[in-house]
Amino acid sequence: MKLRFRDLNPKVVEAVAVAFADIPAFDVKCADVFEGAPADAIVSPANSHGWMDGGIDLVYRDRFGLAIETNLQALIAGLPTKLLAVGEAIILDTGDEQIPAMIAAPTMEVPSVVAQTDNAYLAFRAVLRAVRHVNFQSVICPGLATLTGRMAPQESAQQMRRAWDELMGLVPAHPTQ
């Protein structure tokens, strides 16, 4: 799998570039997230309700149309808890030829500050599990929890790396997770 990390915040990009410097599968650039297209999927670091009216999710809704939010919320409404928990992910069609799928992986239940949580780790772990399940070859990912969530870039990048190492078998998974 090739992961194309794109973000407009140079500090976020630098932190991810440092954290994944030894991973050839990571292509990190300070650029518009859609510069990574074409790709099999794009990561939406959404909220548990599927609201896409702010942050990067609003950018996605502007590109893919209001149906992406409506469809995401319908999928979430069908879940037993009526919420897509942090640590879970849903894949849905975008209707876009360049990026045909979106992986919604919440970094927060509602738009809020999530610094000093494990939410970037949980979200990225959910993304990697989803990608494995459907065997995507290329995925675009922005910073996780670094905008609305106000997580420090290094903290987010380190959490993403922890998830990567665990899912790729580079280190054992934490026994309680």
CATH code of the domain in which 93 resides: 3.40.220.10
Domain count, the chain: 1
> What digits encode the pLDDT tens for the residues 15-24?
999 999 999 9
Residue 131's domain spans which residues? 2-169
- Residue 132 falls inside a structural domain: yes
- Residue 70 falls inside a structural domain: yes
What is the predicted pLDDT for the residue at 146? 96
Residue 112, sorted as left (phi over 0), alpha (psi -120 to 50) or beta, turns out to be beta
Cα 69 off chain centre by: 16
- Residue 80 falls inside a structural domain: yes
- Residue 17 falls inside a structural domain: yes
- Residue 64 falls inside a structural domain: yes
What is the predicted pLDDT for the residue at 161? 98
What is the predicted pLDDT for the residue at 111? 87
- Residue 174 falls inside a structural domain: no
- Residue 53 falls inside a structural domain: yes
Structure tokens at 112: 């809020």
Within the chain, which residues score under 50 in pLDDT?
none
Residue 166 burial (C-beta neighbours within 10 Å; 0-12, 13-18, 19+) = middle
What is the predicted pLDDT for the residue at 175? 54
> What digits encode the pLDDT tens for the residues 127-154?
999 999 998 999 999 999 999 999 999 9
What is the predicted pLDDT for the residue at 174? 58
